[in-house]
């Protein structure tokens, strides 16, 4: 939780994306274990959005150099 309060926006963003990735993964696995398609789909959407955001951030950082 300390990382979410830091002044550096890059570390806060990275921490939030990690947290969202973990929550999406848990949702996906819970839906898979409970055989609940809506949970599986929502977990996949969440994880997919995190990977898309990480890709955009990676591309922007690469473009700056």
Regions of the chain with pLDDT less than 70: 1-8
So what's the pLDDT on residue 64?
A: 80
So what's the pLDDT on residue 20?
A: 94
So what's the pLDDT on residue 2?
A: 62
How far apart (Å, rounded) are the C-alpha atoms in residues 8 and 11? 6
Helix (H, G, I), strand (E, B) or coil at 1: coil
How far apart (Å, rounded) are the C-alpha atoms in residues 43 and 2? 26
So what's the pLDDT on residue 12?
A: 79
Q: 36 phi and psi, to 5 degrees?
A: -120, 100
């Amino acid at each position: 939780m300390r990382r979410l309060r830091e002044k550096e926006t890059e570390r806060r963003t990275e921490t939030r994306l990690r947290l969202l990735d973990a929550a999406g993964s848990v949702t996906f696995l819970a839906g898979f274990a409970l055989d609940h398609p809506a949970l599986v789909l929502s977990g996949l959407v969440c994880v997919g959005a995190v990977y898309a955001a990480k890709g955009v951030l990676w591309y922007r950082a690469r473009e700056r150099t």
